[in-house]
């Protein structure tokens, strides 16, 4: 490509503006005469969802895509706690992108799992920013090692799906800096992603796509990000403000919607042309960084004939490494070689291996648990047991119970069904479907040796484990394990591989124990993050609450000993901690050791402990390995909101090395010389978190903020959605039902809210602010018609109609 400055000087203002908005759903615009190529993007984090223009007929990019390897989803991959595996997965995705002519993959997603009901948690790594950041950096490094691009998403504080298009995340600065942003920060600093995707929502009053504080101050100035910022699909709602904030590329195409407005703004001096040039320069750099060329590329392309076989094997390896053994009473697992098995549960046959929404890929291959078991078992008896739709079926139940009665052990396959977690809307409950619980109860009555195999992308309640004499002897959680999850599960059940995954998020006893349970799903478009930094184990530990399974927990078929913690001071706040892990059992296995830092300075409020390092060792029986953990200033620091900088407080700290957040094996005390500890003058809750903080508590750490006033007739504007206007406008109701009909058309003709795709698209369309909706459907939502709708919703139907029909 010619020199960027030369190019920019040759481009007209209109061309420059056009380059900053997509050509269609997945591509940037090419300017062939200038030598500027198009760039092709596709989702996603666990497999390519490559769509052609023809595939994208629904206009929203949700129809089917070309087949590709479906790797385990982020939740499953993260539980492997293995940066090497994430790098391999990234490189494999990069390889597929290279083959498919995809320049940039839209991932990884590193939003924090603030609440287990967030519908999209399966697509995110962890409730811990350190873990998520390291894994994301490894994945990005893998993808980019092949010259392909990545888009780190969704920046920032996009932690819910309900109202994700417009909710305002009110987060105090410490929570942002210490909890919600560090995963992005680590990935940016360590892996230099080619782009960052800004989220739909607002943060502290400003849409992420117009948020100069986030995009310019923090991302670029503080962290040194040197790539381009891309909008989430439809997140750009004010292009002029976007240019000012540093939002470079609007995706998808808004069909020239903003172009004229931006041009006029430049011509009238409202927008400095230099800001457009700045974005053009970043996009040109992005095009270059995502276009592998030359001999090396041809060589790589030439040797890929066995690519899908290799990737299937890798998908299987990652699925096994990320599966978590949660219970194994009487060492009922692994099963004896060549045992005949009885398998009950529809998910064993029709697996849930990925989540719904933009990350869903068409798997190149798909093997279920039954296929996997055939590799090991002498015989497999299978009964469906329940319907995937949560409806009772007495015949299926009776058949399953009869089979369970005759079996020595039962492998019971349960989990969250598709409609229970998806992008686009949040989960309604944290429980398993009722018909599955009914089956579990019935099977448990006739067979005392139940091995539960679970699928799902987020935690669910397991009250049945409370009864000490329950029949569930083992629980193996496969999560959403990708196309080879079935065989990987069989590898584990029969002991070809010992489980080594550990939970990357806490499993609460019940939803009500979650700190934000009472205010998370706020119908107002204001999400107050009252709990500040106390999310997940950061809350449960300090509140002393029992949990079902702690963060970092996972069992193995073997045992590990931790010994010889030795901490060396390397200068400043630098420390090197070494310890030895020994496999003390009889089978090969792997152990992810975790290092937490507990600050005891009595200054700023903080969690009881925070993860600051981890490593995984693969060990033969009897084998020992030394692990090394490097700590630096950030391992001990808190964000000082006054100084606007990181600070280490004077006083005592403890390094805690363990097998999980609640299984600490070795500790070492440290005294650090830092700034005098500052106790914060705020509500007592933050020093002694118990139950939910009140809004009045939150104000003491966040500051005052205006009460949310729901919009009503007379006050609607472009930031409101059709769903909000429905109550007071007949026209909005008509549009809503037209949307229902049109979305139903692509979904077999039925407006079915139990259909995950339909529900998601309805939520997306219904909840999008008008400013965004008109971008999705510029034909229907013309400027004139949008004005008419607003007038009518505001009680001026005839005035609006008059203006609408006037030539
Ligand atoms: C999602 C993104 C995704 C994009 C393109 C959006 O709705 O939030 O994660 O990359 O669509 O499919």
How would DSSP label each residue in 387-427? -SSS---HHHHHHHHHHHHH-SSEEEEEE--GGGSBTTB--
H/E segment holding residue 155: strand 149-155
Nearest CA to ligand 1 atom 7: 233
Q: Does residue 272 sit in the same domain as residue 340?
A: no
Q: What is the pLDDT of residues 200-238, one digit of tens each?
A: 999 999 999 999 999 999 999 999 999 999 999 999 989
What are the φ and ψ backbone dihedral angles of 259, each rounded to 5 degrees?
-55, -50
Compute the distance from residue 38 Cα to the ligand 1 centre, in Å.
19
Protein residue with its CA nearest to atom 4 in ligand 1: 233
Tell me how far apart the alpha carbons of residues 376 and 355 are, in angstroms, rounded to a whole number: 28
Give CA–CA dist 282/249, Å, rounded.
Answer: 9
> What is the CA(291)–ligand 1 centre distance, in A?
22
Check: CB of residue 314 under 8 Å from CB of residue 71. yes
Q: What pLDDT was estimated at residue 178?
A: 98
Atom of ligand 1 nearest to the CA of 200: 8
Q: Which of 63, 106, 160, 166 to mutate to test the pocket of ligand 1 (most atoms within 8 A of CB)?
A: 106
Q: Please check whether residues 168 and 221 belong to one and the same domain.
A: yes
In this predicted model, which residue has the larger pLDDT, 425 or 300?
425
Residue 61 CA: nearest ligand 1 atom is 12
Note whether 277 and 363 are same-domain residues. no
Peptide bond into 154 cis (omega under 30): yes
CA of 534 to the centre of ligand 1 (A): 28
- pLDDT recorded at residue 296: 66
- Which of 199, 236, 358, 422, when mutated, tests ligand 1's pocket best, judged by the most ligand atoms within 8 Å of its CB? 358
Q: CA-CA distances (angstroms) from residue 503 to 56, 354, 456, 483?
A: 36, 17, 13, 21
Q: How far is the CA of 194 from the centre of ligand 1 (A)?
A: 17
Q: Does residue 559 sit in helix, strand or coil?
A: coil
Which of 45-54, 123-132, 445-454 has the lowest average pLDDT?
A: 45-54
Which residue has the least CA distance to atom 3 on ligand 1? 358
- Select from 43, 46, 359 the residue to mutate for testing ligand 1; criterion: most ligand atoms less than 8 Å from CB: 43
**107 Cα: distance to centroid of ligand 1 (angstroms):** 9
Which atom of ligand 1 lies closest to the CA of 764? 7
Pair 110, 177 in one domain: yes
* Adjacent-strand bridge partners of 380: 341
Percent of the chain predicted with pLDDT > 70: 97
Q: What are phi and psi of 610, to 5 degrees?
A: -140, 140
> What's the confidence (pLDDT) of residue 56?
55
Could you say which of 270, 298, 326 is where a domain stops?
298
644 pLDDT tier (thresholds 50, 70, 90): very high
pLDDT score for 291: 87
- How confident is the model at residue 302, as a pLDDT? 66
Mean pLDDT over residues 391-399, rounded? 97
Contact 447, 491 (CB under 8 A): no
Same domain as 609, residue 568? yes
Domain count, the chain: 4
Residue 490 near residue 376, CB atoms below 8 Å: yes
pLDDT at 295: 63
Residue-level pLDDT at 255: 86
* Residue 123 alpha carbon, nearest atom of ligand 1: 9
**Helix (H/G/I), strand (E/B), else coil: 157:** coil
Residue with CA nearest ligand 1 atom 5 = 233
Distance CA 664, CA 528 (A): 33
> Smallest Cα–Cα separation from 181: which of 114, 235, 110, 252?
110
Q: What is the pLDDT of residue 549?
A: 98
Query: Are residues 482 and 379 in contact, defined by beta-carbon separation less than 8 angstroms?
Result: no
Closest CA to 627 of 576, 589, 588: 576
pTM for this one?
Answer: 0.97
Residue 57 inside a domain? The answer is yes
Write the residue with the smallest CA distance to atom 11 of ligand 1: 233
The residue-averaged pLDDT of 701-712 equals 93
Do residue 132 and residue 278 come from a single domain? yes
Q: Name which of 419, 523, 494, 444 is nearest 167 in CA terms.
A: 523
* Residue 139: count of CB within 10 angstroms of its CB: 34
CATH of the domain at 648: 2.60.40.10
Residues 239 and 294 occupy one common structural domain: yes
- Strands 324-328 and 362-363 turn out to be unpaired
| 490 in Cβ contact with 372 (< 8 Å) | yes
Q: Which two tokens stand for residue 115?
A: 């609440």
Q: What is the spatial distance between Cα 112 and Cα 393, in angstroms, rounded to a whole number?
A: 38
Report residues whose beta carbon is within 6 angstroms of any ligand 1 atom: 43, 61, 106, 153-154, 232-233, 358
Residue 655 near residue 599, CB atoms below 8 Å: no
Q: Please, are residues 122 and 154 in contact by the beta-carbon 8 Å criterion? A: no
Q: How confident is the model at residue 806 (pLDDT cuts 50, 70, 90)?
A: confident
Q: What angle do CA 714, 784, 786 make, to 5 degrees?
A: 45
In a domain, 618, yes or no: yes
Angle formed at CA 450 by CA 446 and CA 453, multiple of 5 degrees: 140
Nearest residue to 34 via CA among 298, 291, 280, 292: 280
Q: Is 524 left (phi over 0), alpha (psi -120 to 50) or beta?
A: beta
pLDDT band for 569, please (50, 70, 90 cuts): very high
Shared-domain flag, residues 294 and 360: no
Nearest CA to ligand 1 atom 9: 358
Q: Residue with the nearest Cα to atom 8 of ligand 1?
A: 232
Provide the 8-state DSSP code for 675: B
Task: Name the residue of 136, 208, 233, 424 whose CB sits within 8 Å of the most ligand 1 atoms, as the mutation to test its pocket.
Answer: 233
Q: pLDDT at residue 574 above 70? A: yes
Model pLDDT for residues 516-562, shown as the tens digit of each residue: 999 999 988 999 999 999 999 999 999 999 999 999 999 999 999 99
pLDDT at 55 over 70: no
Q: In angstroms, what is the span from residue 40 Cα to ligand 1's centroid?
A: 14
CATH of residue 328: 3.40.50.1700
d(CA 73, CA 89): 11
Q: Which residues pair with 721 in a beta bridge?
A: 769
Ligand 1 atom with the smallest distance to the CA of 43 is 10
Please tell me the residue having the least CA distance from ligand 1 atom 6: 233
How many angstroms does the Cα of residue 153 sit away from the middle of ligand 1? 9
Q: Are residues 199 and 339 in the same domain?
A: no
For residue 741, with 0-12 CB atoms within 10 Å meaning exposed, 13-18 middle and 19 or more buried, which class applies? exposed
Q: What is the distance in A from the centroid of ligand 1 to the CA of 60?
A: 10
Atom of ligand 1 nearest to the CA of 44: 10
Ligand 1 pocket test: pick from 232, 763, 775 the residue with the most ligand atoms within 8 Å of its Cβ.
232
Q: From ligand 1's centre to the CA of 233, what distance in Å?
A: 6
CA of 256 to the centre of ligand 1 (A): 20
Q: What pLDDT is recorded for position 294? A: 65
CA 367 vs. chain centroid, Å, equals 25
Question: Closest ligand 1 atom to the C-alpha of 424?
Answer: 7
The answer to whether residues 113 and 519 touch, using CB atoms and an 8 Å cutoff, is no
Q: What local confidence, expressed as pLDDT, does residue 749 receive? A: 85
* Residue 114 resides in a domain: yes
Q: Do residues 270 and 325 both lie within one domain?
A: no
Q: Which atom of ligand 1 is nearest to the CA of 49?
A: 12
**652 token code pair:** 């005592």
Task: Judge whether 110 lies within some domain.
Answer: yes
Cα-to-centroid distance, 463 and ligand 1 (Å):
35
Query: What is the whole-number distance in angstroms between the Cα of residue 113 and the centre of ligand 1?
Result: 18
306 is a domain residue: no
Burial class (CB in 10 A: 0-12, 13-18, 19+), 646: middle
Token readout for 140 is 């990005």
Among the three residues 437, 471, 503, which one is the final residue of a domain in this structure? 503
What would the mean pLDDT of 412-425 be, rounded to a whole number?
A: 96
The parent domain of residue 156 ranges over 5-298
Residue 694 belongs to some domain of the structure = no
Distance 469 CA to ligand 1 centre (A): 46
Residue 358 alpha carbon, nearest atom of ligand 1: 12
From the alpha carbon of 153, which atom of ligand 1 is closest? 9
Instruction: Report pLDDT digits (tens) over 134-167.
Output: 999 999 999 999 999 999 999 999 999 999 998 9
Phi, psi dihedrals of residue 519, rounded to the nearest 5°: -135, 5
Ligand 1 atom at minimum distance from 154 CA: 9
Shared domain check, 335 and 289: no
User: Residue 61 above 70 pLDDT?
Assistant: no
Measured by CA distance, the residue closest to atom 12 of ligand 1 is: 358
- Phi, psi of 98, deg, nearest 5: -60, -45
In this structure, the chain runs to a length of 807
Q: Which residue has the higher pLDDT, 74 or 304?
A: 74
- pLDDT surpassing 60 at residue 60: no
531: in domain: no
Are 151 and 194 a contacting pair, CB within 8 Å? Answer: yes
684 domain-assigned: no
pLDDT of residue 304: 73
CA distance 736 to 724: 11
pLDDT at 780: 80
Across all residues in the chain, what is the average pLDDT? 95
Tell the residue number behind the tokens 């999850």, with chain if given.
485
Output the pLDDT for position 256.
87
Picking from 298, 321, 353, the residue at the C-terminal end of a domain is 298
Residues whose CB is less than 8 angstroms from the CB of residue 732 and which lie 6 or more positions away in sequence, other chains included: 722, 725, 726, 789, 792, 793
Asked if 791 is an active-site residue, the reply is no
In sequence order, what DSSP letters do the residues of 619-670 get, joined into one string?
E-TT-EEEEEEEE-HHHH-EEETTTTEEE-BSEEEEEEEEEETTEEEEEEEE
Q: Which is the catalytic residue, given 82, 168, 172, 232?
A: 232
What pLDDT band is residue 54 in, cutting at 50, 70 and 90? low
217 shares its domain with 95 = yes
How many A from CA of 141 to the centre of ligand 1? 21
In this predicted structure, what is the pLDDT of residue 4? 95
């Amino acid at each position: 490509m010619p020199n960027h400055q030369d190019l920019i000087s040759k481009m007209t203002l209109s061309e420059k503006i056009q380059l900053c908005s997509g050509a269609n759903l997945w591509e940037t615009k090419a300017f062939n005469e200038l030598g500027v190529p198009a760039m092709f993007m596709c989702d996603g984090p666990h497999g390519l969802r490559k769509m052609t223009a023809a595939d994208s007929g629904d206009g929203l990019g949700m129809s089917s895509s070309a087949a590709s390897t479906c790797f385990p989803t982020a939740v499953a991959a993260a539980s492997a706690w293995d940066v090497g595996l994430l790098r391999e997965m990234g490189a494999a995705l990069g390889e597929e992108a290279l083959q498919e002519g995809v320049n940039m993959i839209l991932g990884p997603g590193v939003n924090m799992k603030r609440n287990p009901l967030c519908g999209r948690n399966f697509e995110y790594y962890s409730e811990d920013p350190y873990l998520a950041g390291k894994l994301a950096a490894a994945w990005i490094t893998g993808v980019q090692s092949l010259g392909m691009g990545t888009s780190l998403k969704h920046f920032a504080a996009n932690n819910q799906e309900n109202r994700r298009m417009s909710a305002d995340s009110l987060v105090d600065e410490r929570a942002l800096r210490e909890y919600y942003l560090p995963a992005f920060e680590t990935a940016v600093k360590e892996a230099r992603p080619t782009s960052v995707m800004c989220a739909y929502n607002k943060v502290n009053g400003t849409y992420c796509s117009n948020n100069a504080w986030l995009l310019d101050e923090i991302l670029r100035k503080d962290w040194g990000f040197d790539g381009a910022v891309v909008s989430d699909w439809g997140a750009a709602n004010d292009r002029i403000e976007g240019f000012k904030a540093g939002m470079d590329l609007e995706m998808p195409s808004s069909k020239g919607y903003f172009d004229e407005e931006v041009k006029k703004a430049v011509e009238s001096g409202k927008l400095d042309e230099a800001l457009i040039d700045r974005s053009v320069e970043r996009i040109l750099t992005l095009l270059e960084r995502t276009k592998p060329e030359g001999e090396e590329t041809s060589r790589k392309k030439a040797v890929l004939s066995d690519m899908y076989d290799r990737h299937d094997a890798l998908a299987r390896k990652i699925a096994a490494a990320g599966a978590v053994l949660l219970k194994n009473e009487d060492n009922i697992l692994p099963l004896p070689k060549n045992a005949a098995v009885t398998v009950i549960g529809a998910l064993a046959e029709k697996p849930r291996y990925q989540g719904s929404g933009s990350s869903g890929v068409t798997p190149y291959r798909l093997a279920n648990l039954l296929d996997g078991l055939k590799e090991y078992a002498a015989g497999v008896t299978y009964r469906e047991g329940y319907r995937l739709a949560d409806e009772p079926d007495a015949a299926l139940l009776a058949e399953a119970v009869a089979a369970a009665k005759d079996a020595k052990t039962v492998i019971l396959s349960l989990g969250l069904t598709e409609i229970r977690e998806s992008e686009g809307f949040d989960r309604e409950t944290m429980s398993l479907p009722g018909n599955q619980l009914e089956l579990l109860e019935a099977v448990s009555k006739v067979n005392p040796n139940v091995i539960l195999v679970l699928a799902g992308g987020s935690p669910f309640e397991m009250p049945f484990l409370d009864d000490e004499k329950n029949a569930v002897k083992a629980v193996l959680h496969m999560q959403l394990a990708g196309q080879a999850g079935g065989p990987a599960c069989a590898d584990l059940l029969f002991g070809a591989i010992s489980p080594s995954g550990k939970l990357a998020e806490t499993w609460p006893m019940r939803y009500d124990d979650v700190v934000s349970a009472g205010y998370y799903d706020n119908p107002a478009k204001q999400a107050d993050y009252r709990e500040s930094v106390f999310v997940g184990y950061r809350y449960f530990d300090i509140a002393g609450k029992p949990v079902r399974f702690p963060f970092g927990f996972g069992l193995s078929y073997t045992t590990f000993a931790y010994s010889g913690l030795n901490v060396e001071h390397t200068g400043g706040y630098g420390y090197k901690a070494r310890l030895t892990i020994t496999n003390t059992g009889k089978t090969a296995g792997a152990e992810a050791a975790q290092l937490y830092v507990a600050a005891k300075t009595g200054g700023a409020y903080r969690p009881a402990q925070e993860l600051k390092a981890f490593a995984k060792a693969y060990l033969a029986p009897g084998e020992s390995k030394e692990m090394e953990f490097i700590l630096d200033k950030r391992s001990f620091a808190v964000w000082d909101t006054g100084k606007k900088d990181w600070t280490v407080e004077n006083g005592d700290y403890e390094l805690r090395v363990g097998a999980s957040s609640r299984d600490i094996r070795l500790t070492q005390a440290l005294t650090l010389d830092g700034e005098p500890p500052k106790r914060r003058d705020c509500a007592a809750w933050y020093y002694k978190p118990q139950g939910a903080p009140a809004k009045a508590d939150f104000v003491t750490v966040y500051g005052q903020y205006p009460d949310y006033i729901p919009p009503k007739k007379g006050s609607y504007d472009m930031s409101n959605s059709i769903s909000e206007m429905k109550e007071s406008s007949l026209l909005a109701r008509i549009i809503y039902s037209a949307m229902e009909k049109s979305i139903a058309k692509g979904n077999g003709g039925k407006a079915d809210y139990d259909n995950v795709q339909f529900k998601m698209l309805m939520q997306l369309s219904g909840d999008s602010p008008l400013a965004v909706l008109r971008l999705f459907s510029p034909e229907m939502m013309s400027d004139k018609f949008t004005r008419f709708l607003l007038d009518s919703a505001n009680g001026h139907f005839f005035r609006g109609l008059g203006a609408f029909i006037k030539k």
